[in-house]
Structure 1
Amino acid sequence: MRELLATGGPFVLLGAAALALAYWLVQPNPPKRVVLATGAEQGAYAEFGKRYQEQLARHGIEVVLRGTQGSADNLKLLEDPDGEVEFAFVQGGADRQRQPDEPPPEGLVALGSLFYEPVWFFYREDSARRLLGRARLQRLAQLAGWKLNIGAPGSGVTNLMLRLIDLNGLEREQLTLTRLGQTPAVVEFLEGRLDAVAFTSAPEAPMVQMLLQTPGVGLLDFAQSEAYARRLPVLAPVVLPRGVIDLARDLPPRDVHLVAPTAMLVARESAHPALQQLFVQAARTIHGEAGWFQRRGDFPSPRNVEFPLAKEAERFYASGPSWLQRYLPFWLTNLVDRMWVVIASIIVVLIPASRIVPPLYEMRVRSKVFRWYGRLRQIEAALEREPSAAQARTLRQSLEELDTRVGRINVPLSHADELYALRSHIHLVRKKLLSLEGA
């Protein structure tokens, strides 16, 4: 065993060192903490952020939620090289600085589109009566003289609403535009100091749910939704079905046409691949069910994204989760997934090197026997010089010591013949020595 350890040990240590170096370079396990930029409190992004937090906590990942004013702020945080934010929700068309034909910022990747974010344009019916002479607002072009909140600076709705106002031929001076956050804007709206408020949000947002069921609050029907989608490619026409809010109360009482950009999950390209994989899997769980505007399985999707699709997302949409995850915990599956190529490379390199181990082991075992032949040859050569009686006794003592040491040698059974050959040779020299003493 000692010889086996002495010969195979360095080889094992070399393999372990190569594996440790590969682990250090690849860093297969993700960090335990990640920052996700969401949005305003009581908005859809904030609500979905909590669900992602719960999903990743099951794998030991702490998701820190960073509240912002919306998509524009989230993009700035992602592009900040010194910032902590690595993942964020971003609304389609939220980048006001980029023209439609410009490439997206470098270093950012999309993990997929998540859900439609309809433009919820709520108005007070009493304001419509006062300004239009009827209870219903029919088109954005009728907004001249209205007090309208278009979202806080940094939110995605601001840029979108300004573009919609321009498309309808309205001069911005014809409206009183405010830039309040979502909660204070709703307070002002309900108290009558604003005529209308605009959100872009998933229907899960508490503010949207509340306003949809508030008496005296109307929701603009974008009857020209198809035309808006043609003029602004970031928009898609969607329909809020009759009765989807409350079947018993028949809310809404008719189909409502809306326009909707698509919310995306965007990450830094440098974010750990395992974290990207976890976020995509969480997106499938959170957004994969049927909703007001999508059927089961429509989201998350690799379509309608404005950034290059991350490689982890491409692999997930093509083949789904790894089959190992059905039987192994995520950390082990991830370790195998990230390291198998490296381990295979190390094995390919070490297999040729391992061929030297058996000859080296055999050489070390045989050397335990053959190194004593040198001492035996010395004794035999001294006998051939016809020693005196005193020298013969000294040689005999040396021979007996040699025989005693050889008797203590342990070798595998496969090499026992060499050991017994040495002992028989010692016996031959002993016979020669005894015959010399007799003479």
Structure 2
Amino acid sequence: MMDKLRHTLLLWALSLRDMLISAGPVALLAGALLAGAYWWLDPQPPEHVSLATGPAGSAYAEFGQRYARALLRDRIVVDMQVTGGSQANIQALRSGAADVAFVRGGSADAAADTEAGIESLGALFYEPLWLFYRVDALKPEIQAAPARRSSAGTRVAAAHVNEAVPPLSTFGQLKGLRVNVDQPGSGVPDIMQRLLAANGLGDAALQLSQLAPESAAEALQGGLIDAMVLMTTPESPVVGRLLRAPGIALMDVAQADAYARRFPFLQTVTLPRGVVELAADIPPQDISLLATTTSLLTRDETHPALRQLFAQTAQGLHSDAGWINRARDFPNTRTSELPVSPEGDRAINGTPPFWQSYLPFWASNLLQRMWLVIGGVIVLLLPLSRVVPPLYTFRVRRRVFRWYARLRDIEAKLDKAGADRRLLLNELDELDRVANQIAVPLAHAEELYALRHNIDIVRQRALSKLAPANQ
């Protein structure tokens, strides 16, 4: 039983070896093609990526943390760069110091940055321009009221009566006020300069400062400044605090549509009544705001797999409804100032491959970037694979046929005069023992039995010639 099992395992091992050796040239060619394509395409991304976010504690920094946690699940480490804001982020992309960055609309130079290879992975969210001001900073006009008569008919002296203070609704009303326009590098000072210039206001018409949002909010509530401007998401803690602060109001931009026409990077959005806090009715009415869209920008030198991963992550982080947008308004490719990369367009507007739901990122990415090469290799190897069966058959049969040369040599010696036929019979016996030890698959057993039959025929001839010699 053991001998039979051993013999069966030997046959399987020999067959497998023959098959591997026969298919070896084709397999080596396929491996060389795939290795060359892998080297050329470089499908696997680096393990580290640099993301320019914004000041510590800002909305950009918070979103950066979310991206870092999401990408870490796919073993990609996000190195976050703390910057001054959007302008600093676009500069980091231009210089190559960052691979990906959050950039607010109006910060990029569309023509120059497109030529420099900076692309968008999609618009992520609105960043409204929030202009908070102290209500008591708007001085009411004091007018003399006309004289009136008392109930007794006597004239009462004229009194000063305060008229209601009109709310701040145009940028022209900022003239002469102390206004903070956010810190340098955030991009807000540049945007405010353009808006003020459109209203005929130069820097000398206002008392401008450039404090960080947290410091500016404290200064506003402390009466050190009259108004402050910041551009950030509604989720910003500074925005939430000022919307609830007594004596602080949010500017309702009366000319919002006009600004959106004149400045393409701006859009009109509405902060709905009560969206901040329904019970307290904050805000007490709908407020029109100007907003930009913040996009996730990248360089064309950033690895395509990283661009794909960031775009797919954006789908999960920015698709919910917010104070000023509905669900699935973001991410989008409609409001991007720069050309959208193919990876961003596929992630936002396309349908992901079905295998992404079943494979880890590295395997899904490898298949997505190599499938065309793999298909080409298969098409190339199909005709070449036809040589494998003949090669396999040749190797198996060669194991048998190689002994026919020795058998033919023995047979030739039999016909020579003076040949030692006993010695030739010994050689035939040795050849028969060798043949009995040859292992071939059952499909080729016929060749082995043919060899043994032919050895027996030559043996019979040798014995027939040996008999007369003995008589």
Cα shift at 1:102: 6.2
Greater shift after overlay, 152-161 or 133-142? Answer: 133-142
**Hey, what's the Cα distance between the residues in 2 that align with 1:131 and 1:337?**
69
The one-character-per-residue Cα deviations of 1:258-314 (angstroms, maximum 9, x if unpaired) are 111111111111222222222222222221111111111111111111111110122
Match of 1:51 in 2: 66
- 1:138-287 to 2 correspondences below 5 Å: 138-287=169-318
Letter in 1 for 2:357: R
The answer (yes or no) to whether the contact 1:244–1:292 under 8 Å persists in 2 is yes
User: Is contact 1:229–1:236 with CA below 8 Å preserved after alignment?
Assistant: yes
* Aligned-pair CA distance for 1:403: 1.6
Q: 1-side partners of 2:411 and 2:394: how far apart?
A: 25
Secondary structure of residue in 2 paired with 1:249: coil
C-alpha contact (below 8 Å) 2:181/2:188 kept by paired residues = yes
Which residue in the other structure is 2:338 paired with?
A: 307
State the shift of 1:320 in Å.
3.3
Partner of 2:458: 429
1:426 counterpart SS class: helix
Name 2:430's counterpart in structure 1.
Answer: 401
Instruction: Evaluate the alpha carbon distance shift between residue 295 and residue 146 of structure 1 in structure 2; reply closer, same or farther with a 3 A threshold.
Output: same
Letter in 2 for 1:64: D
Measured on the aligned residues, the alpha-carbon RMSD in Å equals: 2.1
1:42 to 48, 57, 67: 57
3-state SS of 1:121 partner: strand
Is residue 126–residue 135 contact of structure 1 (8 Å, CA) maintained in 2?
no
Alignment correspondent of 2:18: 3
Amino acid across the alignment from 2:34: L
CA distance in structure 2 between the partners assigned to 1:106 and 1:77 by the alignment: 13
1:101 deviates by 6.8
1:127 aligns with 2:158: no
- CA distance in 1: counterparts of 2:329 and 2:197, whole angstroms: 32
Match of 2:37 in 1: 22
Cα gap change, 1:103 to 1:109, in 2 (>3 Å): closer
Cα 1:382–1:315 shift into 2, 3 Å: same
User: Residue 101 and residue 60 in structure 1: after superposition, are their counterparts in 2 closer, same or farther (change >3 A)?
Assistant: closer
Change (3 A) 1:216 1:36: same
Partner of residue 101, structure 2: 88
Determine helix, strand or coil for the equivalent of 1:356. helix
Call closer, same or farther: CA 1:398–1:160 in 2, change over 3 Å: same
Deviates more, 1:197-206 or 1:282-291: 282-291
The structure number with the bigger radius of gyration is 2
Call closer, same or farther: CA 1:222–1:51 in 2, change over 3 Å. Answer: same
CA distance in 1 between counterparts of 2:202 and 2:349 reads 47
Aligned: 1:111 with 2:121: yes
Which of residues 67, 71, 85 in structure 1 aligns to 2:82?
67
> Cα distance, 1:88 vs. partner?
0.8
User: 1:10 offset after TM fit, Å?
Assistant: 4.0
Deviation for aligned residue 1:135: 6.7
Structure 1: how far apart are the matches of 2:399 and 2:351? 59
Asked if 2 retains the 8 angstrom alpha-carbon contact of 1:47 and 1:205, the reply is no
- Contact kept, 8 Å, 2:315 with 2:348, in 1: the verdict is no
TM-score by length of 2: 0.86
Task: Report the number of matched residues.
Answer: 432
CA displacement, residues 53-86 of structure 1 (integer Å, 9 cap, x when unaligned): 23223333222221111111000101113x2x11
CA contact (8 A) 1:69 1:181 kept: no
Post-superposition shift, 1:180?
A: 2.4
C-alpha distance in 1 between matches for 2:269 and 2:434: 94
Runs of 4+ in 1 over 6 A off after TM superposition: 100-103, 130-133
Q: 3-state DSSP class of the match of 1:115?
A: strand
- CA deviations 1:177-209 (Å, max 9, x no partner) are 222222333333333222211111110111111
> What percent identity do the matched residue pairs reach?
46
Distance 2:334 2:62 in 1: 23
In structure 1, which of residues 331, 339, 345 is the aligned counterpart of residue 376 of structure 2? 345
Cα distance, 1:131 vs structure 2 = 9.8
Measured in 2, the distance between the counterparts of 1:4 and 1:59 equals 39
| 1:229-261 Cα shifts (integer Å, max 9, x gaps) | 111111111111111111111111111111111
> Equivalents in 2 of 1:354, 1:102: separation in Å?
52
**Residue of structure 1 equivalent to 2:449:** 420
SS in 1 for 2:274: coil
- Listed as ranges, the gaps of 5+ residues in structure 1 are none
The amino acid of 1:90's aligned partner reads: V
Contact 1:92 1:262 in 2 (8 A): yes
Q: Does the aligned pair in 1 maintain the 2:122–2:345 contact within 8 Å?
A: no
8 Å contact kept, 2:311–2:348: no
Whether the 8 Å CA contact 2:259–2:266 is kept in 1: the answer is yes
Question: Equivalent residue for 2:148?
Answer: none
Distance 1:239 1:131 in 2: 30
Aligned CA distance change for structure 1 residues 208 and 42 (closer, same or farther; 3 Å):
farther
Alpha-carbon spacing, 1:380–1:292, altered in 2? closer, same or farther (3 Å): same
- Greater mean alpha carbon deviation, residues 230-239 or residues 23-32: 23-32
- Unpaired segments of 5 or more residues in structure 2? 1-13, 143-161
Change (3 A) 1:131 1:371: farther
Residues 403, 4 of structure 1: alpha-carbon distance in 2 compared, 3 angstrom cutoff: same
User: Which stretch shifts more, 425-434 or 17-26?
Assistant: 17-26
